[in-house]
Amino acid sequence: MNEWTLEQWNSHKNSGQLTIFYIYTPMCGTCQVASKMMQVIKEIKPFLIGQANINYLGDFAMDYQIESVPCLLIAKGGTVYKKIYAFQSVPFILDAIKSIDDQVVV
């Protein structure tokens, strides 16, 4: 996964495509496990996925009301439809992504 700036996130989010933004901190053990799951998802499906260290995002956490990391933002058509904090399994995350992609028509 590529590291995204806020400008890249906003550009991709507003593109109309399904966009996934993975937020983490490098010293978080749970984030390291979630990062491995996200790598698997990136290999399985060609979703538009970026990641960023929350420590470098300024007011992003307040703007998006992010409560903890890891956090996965799933957006389509400029709107964030889902935030995932509990990375239960790869199939769980894939189902959540697919449900947004199927339900939201842009």
Domain assignment of residue 80, given as a range: 2-103
The whole model's pTM is what?
Answer: 0.95
CATH code: domain of residue 68: 3.40.30.10
Domain count, the chain: 1
Pairing between strand 2-3 and 48-53?
Answer: parallel
The helix (H) or strand (E) run that includes residue 60 is helix 60-63
CA atoms within 13 A on the CB side of 21: 30
Q: What is the pLDDT along the chain (106 residues), one digit of tens a residue?
A: 899 999 999 999 999 999 999 999 999 999 999 999 999 999 999 899 999 999 999 899 999 999 999 999 999 999 999 999 999 999 999 999 999 999 988 7
